[in-house]
Amino acid sequence: MTAMIGYIGIGDMGGSMAGWLAQQDEFDVHVFDLSADAVAAVVEKGATAAESGAALAAACDHISICVPNDEIVMDVISGENGILESCNPGTTIAIHSTIHPDTVRDAAALAADHQVIVFDASVGGGTANADKGNLSIMVGVPDSGLTPTARAVLDSCGGVVFEAGGVGTGAAMKVAFNVMTYFQQAAASAAHQIMVGEGADPALLLDGWRHIGQLGALTELFWGILDISADDKGGPIGDFLKGPIYLAEKDLDLAASLGLETGRPMPVVEAVRDSMNLVYGMPDAADEQES
């Protein structure tokens, strides 16, 4: 029997995940996003466009949400036009967004009143892995467990699915996952600067890391950004890079906040957060204002 699946939030990651699911025979995928172009791209892969989030929720057994931040997640679920009122009892909602664990728990508590199950299923690996169903998925498992449909969706999208603990722990694991990613970027950027500053070839570092098995695919991909000239970063490429820099700052700020909430200040996380423009080889906002 084909499972009725909904997907709300068809940005880069959401579009890749929804597009992958739409190409699998076991799912009938319905999508909704404020961008008609984003929806059209996934419809071309086999999805059905929903007229609204409410219409999508009424038709689907499982709904995935992949929107930018905590506020929008809560708005999608329980806002003025939120989907909770339209969900059938027993519907599962997986939140893929990188948000505070408590936001997931709050959403789960609200949904329980409607006999709807909300849980976190944070994702890592980028769109290249999402396009082929090979993500790392970090799940905060609800007390009732995962329904067969929810599990089938996660297994289809993920090369590996980690059950981190109860609801909220998947979101926490994703924050930690991103700290590791951005620290690797910061280290690569500093190393690149040392090599360039001393007139040495930065590419030799890549060969050295590969030889001892320390070079990861994402770090190598990021290395290409470091080789882009400062002049080029002042044009369209620089405008594009502002997006990932914003996300890095947002996620690292969330990590620092979680540290403070548990009595463990993280000054190193704060330092990397405040240095992401430099990490990407972009001018600092204050420097731009002075120039």
What is the end-to-end Cα distance of the chain in Å, rounded?
Answer: 62
Range of the domain at 12: 3-165
User: Are 151 and 248 members of one domain?
Assistant: no
Calpha distance 218→188 (Å, rounded): 11
Gap between the Cα atoms of 247 and 261, Å rounded? 21
Task: Count Cβ atoms below 10 Å from residue 3 Cβ, excluding itself.
Answer: 19
Alpha helices in the chain (DSSP H): 12-22, 36-43, 53-59, 70-78, 101-112, 126-130, 148-157, 169-197, 203-212, 217-226, 236-261, 267-273, 276-279, 285-290
Structure tokens at 84: 């909770």
Q: How many domains in the chain?
A: 2
**9 contact partners, CB below 8 Å, separation of at least 6:** 33, 65, 66, 67, 76, 96, 97
Does one domain contain both 119 and 18? Answer: yes
Q: How much is the pLDDT for 1?
A: 67
Same domain, 102 and 149: yes
- Reading the chain (291 residues) residue by residue, the pLDDT tens digits are 689 999 999 999 999 999 999 999 999 999 999 999 999 999 999 999 999 999 999 999 999 999 999 999 999 999 988 999 999 999 999 999 999 999 999 999 999 999 999 999 999 999 999 999 999 999 999 999 999 999 999 999 999 999 999 999 999 999 999 999 999 999 999 999 999 999 999 999 989 988 998 878 888 889 999 989 888 888 888 889 999 999 999 999 999 999 999 999 999 999 999 999 999 998 764 444 344
pTM: 0.91
CATH number of the domain bearing residue 274: 1.10.1040
- Residue 157 and residue 246 in one domain: no
